[in-house]
Structure 1
Amino acid sequence: MSLLDVQELEVRYGKAVALEGVSLRVETNELVGVLGSNGAGKTTLLKAISRVLPSTGMLRFNGKALIGVPAHKVVAQGICHCPEGRRLFPELTAEKNLRLGAYLRTDRGSIDADLQLVYSLFPALRERRSQLAGTLSGGEQQMVAIGRALMGRPRLLMLDEPSVGLAGRLKAAIFDAIDEIRHNGTAVLLVEQDAHATFGIADRVYVLEQGRVAREGPGQELLEDGDIRRIYLGL
């Protein structure tokens, strides 16, 4: 049984079809990448899984159906969604933003320990923990956004364009952290524009085109596809 099982997922915006017949899976401790051009349906896919958007089809997480489940209960079941654009509370400190990620948890004794784990993953945040989130650099804000999602102690972490707008050094640091998160036992569903970095860390990759899955398979296998190399890698 897959940790996340999506079958024939469909999302509509009025009469417009955003996703049509999308099927994918994420196994326990697996890092799965989703590539595609702007408008391909990548963000819509994550929003449908987290139940921010209504959809039809089958969605199962850890063997339980997600269709009809409200978004806050999806989080409680173990799916945390780090959205595109970070969406921090700029007037709160970095640490207060991180702690907000644990708002559904009742195991108060473990929250401080998990906060220290986030700081070990992103050492820069320990130094910036008392700084207002709105004054952090773009890379530091992205670290807070990912760390906030981790504070929910997810079994599946969904990341939407975590490297967008970041310079090379910071982008590499973010991808190193994502790889470490997977190796620490959290499954990751990663939506990205950076195909090079995604192929470098993903166990498997799905390519979306116009709301449908156009390609899927192990990253190394897709790297041998001429169309993938030409369109996404410029080779």
Structure 2
Amino acid sequence: MLLEVRDLSVSYGKAVALERVSLEVARGEFVAVLGPNGAGKSTLLKAISRACPSTGTLRFADESLQALPAHAVVGKGICHCPEGRRLFPELSVLKNLMLGAYLRKDRAGIEADLAAVYELFPVLRERAPQVVSTLSGGQQQMVAIGRALMGRPSLLLLDEPSVGIAHRLKLEIFDAIKRIQRRGTAILMAEQDAQSALRVADRVYVLEHGQVGRSGTSAALRADDSIRQAYLGVD
């Protein structure tokens, strides 16, 4: 197993954000985490990337992550694409992408990965010198995903990649994420768009009030009446 999360809990003061959450992601697997706003999806990804303190067990490639700072987690092979993209708006597309490789020294490998990002998102090659703040929301999301890929992750954490994006670009981005998985990168994605997530993910966990309420394959959850009513708008 690539990622193992056991009894993970996170609190902000007296407010409990996650309570004894357990999940796992196999090598090369695509796992989605669904749930409404406030369910704890973003907190889960932050805890895994060590951007917030937590209790419980976090193991990645048979090593504990709990004592590691965030930059060391990146070095282990986990790259986090956060909600809101968190780009450097005054810098160019190319400079934003290259910041994802800041821990790397392998120049040939970096150039190869940059070419792979451009193959995945051809518009970024065209816009490489353009200032990021002038791009559309969907194009900025492509930059954010590309920047994470420049870290050459074994596990890519994606937080709400479809938020604020036009439908056409949303479809393009989800298709690209599926291609990333097919190339061998495991993906853990937090997402509110259940229909899109169930279309591309292998397995799904549903967070409810900071706890795992349901889990299963995408096919099984698509057929679950309570999931259909709550998340797909189907009676």
TM-score, normalisation: structure 2: 0.99
Task: List, as ranges, runs of 4+ consecutive aligned residues in structure 1 with deviation greater than 6 Å.
Answer: none
* Other-structure match for 2:136: 137
What secondary structure is seen at the aligned counterpart in 1 of 2:22?
Answer: strand
Question: What corresponds to 1:168 in structure 2?
Answer: 167
1:205 is matched by which residue type in structure 2? V
Paired amino acid for 1:28: R
Structure 1 Cα separation of the partners of residues 112 and 166 of structure 2: 31
Q: Which amino acid aligns with 2:89?
A: P
Matching of residues 3-14 of structure 1 within 5 Å: 3-14=2-13
For 1:66, the equivalent position in structure 2 comes to 65
Once the two structures are aligned, what percentage of the paired residues are identical? Answer: 65
Letter in 2 for 1:45: L
Give the unaligned 5+ runs of structure 1. Answer: none
Cα distance in 2 for partners of 1:66, 1:110 equals 26
CA shift, 1:18, in A, is 0.5
CA distance in 1, matches of 2:77, 2:202: 21
AA paired with 2:56? Answer: G
Please show how residues 118-129 of structure 1 align to structure 2 within 5 Å. 118-129=117-128
State the AA in 2 paired with 1:63. Answer: D
Deviation at 1:145, TM superposition (A): 0.2
- Residues of 1 paired with 2:6 and 2:178: CA distance? 26
Question: For residues 112 and 6 of structure 2, what CA distance do their matches in structure 1 show?
Answer: 37
- What amino acid does structure 2 have at the position aligned with 1:196? Q
**Aligned residue in 1 for 2:112:** 113
- Paired with 1:220 and 1:192, the residues of 2 have a C-alpha distance of 17
**Aligned-partner SS, 1:129:** coil
SS at match of 1:105: coil
Structure 2 portions without partners, runs of 5+: none
1:234 aligns with 2:233: yes
Question: In the TM superposition, what are the counterparts of 1:188-199 in structure 2 within 5 Å?
Answer: 188-199=187-198
SS in 2 for 1:139: helix
* Equivalence map 1:32-111=2 (5 Å): 32-111=31-110
Q: Which residue number corresponds to residue 152 of structure 2?
A: 153
Amino acid at match of 1:111: I
